[in-house]
Structures are given as C-alpha cells and as structure tokens.
Amino acid sequence: MRNKTVRACIFAVLAVFLLALAGTVLTLRRDGGESIEIVSDGTVVYSGPAKAEGEPVYVPVQTERGMNLVRIDAEGVCVESADCPGQECVSSGYLKSAYLPVVCLPHRLVIRFAKTPGEGAPDAVSE
Amino acid sequence: MKTRKLTAMALMTGAALMIHYVESLLPALVPVPGVKPGLANIVTLLALYMFAPRDALLIVAARLILGAFVGGSFSALLYAAAGSAVSLAVMLPLSRVLPPRYMYLASILGAAGHNLGQIAVAVAVTRTPSLVVYLPVLTLSGCIAGAFTGFCASFAYLRLIKK
C-alpha cells in the first residue's frame, strides 16, 4: 500500500514537472507584436506602439494602490520605477513574450502585447 | 494544550517567520513575480509530520498573519493565504501516507498547489485571465524549490528531530 502511494506520487511529480517544463518552453518562445496595452485594475489605460524611436516615452500609472512609471524606448516596454514593496515588476525587464505579461500584482497592473486586429482571424476567405 | 507542545509550536512559528523575513530581503532569483524559494515551507512540512493537522494549520496561519505585519505588505497576504490553503490541502493527506524520507514528494506537489492558488487569486484580483500563462513557469520553479525544501525538511526530521 505504502509503496503504491510512493510510486503514484513519483508519477504525479514527474507529470507535473514535464507539463510545467513544456508549458514554460512554449510560453517563453512566443514573440510579441507591434503594439502594447497597459491594463490597470482590469481597465486598459494606455495602448500604443511597443517601441519608441528616439526619445523614450514615459507613461505614469497612478492609482490609489501606488505608482508605476512605464518606459517605452527603442528596445521595448518596461517598468522604469514603482513604489510597490517587491519591485518585481521593475526587475522583470522588457516585455518579450506575447504570453508572459509584465505584472505588478500589488498595484494590479498588467503590461501586455495588444492583439492586432487580424490576429485569430483567417488569413484569407475564398468564395 | 500542554506547555511543551505550545512552546514547540511557538518556536516553529518564530522560526518560520524569521525564515520568511530573511527570504524577503534576498534579491529575486528570477525576474518573475511569485518565484521564491519558499524556505518557510520547511517548517510547515515539519509541523505536518510532528503535530496534528489543526496545530500545523495554526502555525501556518500565525506565520502568514505575522509575516504580513513584519513585511508590511497586506496585499501579498491574500496571495500567500490562497497559496498556503491549496498547498496544505495537498500536503496534509500526503503527510499521513508518505514516510518522512519521502517528504520531498509532498513538498513538490504542495508547491505546485501553492502556485495554483496564487495564480487563481491573481487572475481574480487583476481580472486578467491571461495571467494563467504564468502557471507553467511558477510550477517549474515550484518543483525545484519544493524538492529543495522537502529534502531540507526530511533531513531535519530524520537527523535532528527524530533522534
């Protein structure tokens, strides 16, 4: 009985690990798009190009929970500074994957690539 | 409750709180929100193997609430509480059937449960279902961290406490 339980747990651990590994590889591989959205508390507060040539564009997002300063430059979009306790949004760096947004959980802020109008639609429709 | 047991539980809560605090001072290993070593789980595992389920639950609850005071972040309490609830729901039955040397198995599955609970709350709070994409990354890091804390807890239980 005990051996069976241990074996079942080992199989469960292996299954969880392999699924997580496959999911991680797929998530990190997907490149982003041309435009981004900044979502604060479920509402899109900014949308625009994912890169800015020349001078960086700064988007301050101030809510009752705190402040995040988002920077859009030639490399992409990232959180320049924030007054959240963990600073994980700042250390996340640039937004790279279409699947993996930059988030600030304490301030309920999400920065993600916007879906282009044609995304998910068929490439061509024949009559 | 006997004084000896009460003292042991208080000491374990204090140890978990100290580990939790020291861990919060360390720089993030990976720049992904929620990826943490979760070293306080060593104490949770030991509590599950040493005490009754209700006592282990008390230690975890005390650590979570006091941790929010010490860390000064009550928004993080919601995520930590949800993660710990799911993690305990997984580890509690496993701790009753798995021998102490297999603590790492309970720990890994508990860590995966912890991530599931955290992501569920993050999706609900931010109203962003796409945050589910964080689950594979968090689960992968949870497996590694869970194995480490599980081995540490198993070592502590078999070499230090059981003796």
In whole angstroms, give the CA distance from residue B118 to residue B139: 11
Q: Can you spell out the DSSP letters for B4-31?
A: HHHHHHHHHHHHHHHHHHHHHHSPPSSS
Of B74 and B20, the one with more pLDDT: B20
Here the tokens at position B37 are 């070593």
CA distance B55 to B6: 9
Q: How confident is the model at residue A123 (pLDDT cuts 50, 70, 90)?
A: very low
B142 → chain A, closest CA residue: A17
Would you give the distance in Å from CA A27 to the centre of its chain? Answer: 10
Comparing CB atoms, the residue among B28, B105, B142 nearest residue A10 is B105
Whether the pLDDT of residue A122 is over 50: the answer is no
pLDDT at B37: 86
- The backbone region for B55, taken as left when phi is positive above 0, alpha when psi lies in -120 to 50, beta otherwise, is alpha
Within 8 A of A65 by CB-CB distance, chain B residues are 75
Kind of pairing, strands A77-82 and A102-104?
Answer: unpaired
- Does residue A125 surpass a pLDDT of 60? no
| Residue A51: per-residue pLDDT | 87
Q: Which domain range does residue B40 map to?
A: 3-161
Quick check: B1 pLDDT over 70?
A: no
> Is the confidence at residue B126, as pLDDT, over 90?
no
Report the pLDDT averaged over residues B62-74.
Answer: 82
pLDDT given at position A116: 64
Q: Which residues in chain B touch residue A92, judged by CB atoms under 8 angstroms apart?
A: 31-33
Residue A49 φ then ψ, to 5° = -65, 150
Q: At residue B18, does pLDDT exceed 70?
A: yes
Average the pLDDT over B115-122 and give the result. Answer: 91
How many domains would you assign to chain B?
1
B31 vs chain A: nearest CA distance in angstroms?
A: 5
The predicted-structure confidence for B69-84, as pLDDT tens digits, reads as follows 887 667 778 888 999 9
Place A30 in a pLDDT band, splitting at 50, 70 and 90.
Answer: low
Residue B23 vs residue A19, higher pLDDT: A19
A16 contacts B109? CB cut-off 8 A: yes
Residue A123 or B82, more confident = B82
Of B102, B130, B136, the CB nearest to A112: B130
* Nearest chain A Cα distance for residue B143, angstroms: 7
In Å, how far are A42, A56, A66, B86, B120 from A83, measured between CA atoms?
A: 20, 21, 6, 30, 24
- Stretch A3-25: mean pLDDT, rounded? 91
Q: Can you tell me the mean pLDDT for B35-57?
A: 91
Q: Is the Cβ–Cβ distance between A30 and A98 less than 8 Å?
A: yes
Which CATH number characterizes residue B116's domain? 1.10.1760
In angstroms, the CA A40 to CA A63 distance is 8
pLDDT value at position A124? 46
pLDDT of residue A41: 83
- Tell me which chain A residues have a C-beta less than 8 angstroms from the C-beta of B94: 9
Q: Is the pLDDT of residue A55 over 50?
A: yes
Average pLDDT over residues B96-109: 93
Average pLDDT of every residue of chain A: 83
List of chain B residues whose C-beta atoms are within 8 Å of the C-beta of residue A91: 28, 31
pLDDT beyond 90 at A103:
no
Cβ contact A106–B71 (<8 Å): no
pLDDT tens-digit series, residues A62-91: 988 889 999 999 888 999 999 887 788 888
B98–A9 CB contact, under 8 Å: yes
Partner B contacted by A91 (CB < 8 A):
yes
Interface of A with B in 48-77 (CB under 8 A): 65
Of A12, A22, A105, the CB nearest to B79: A105
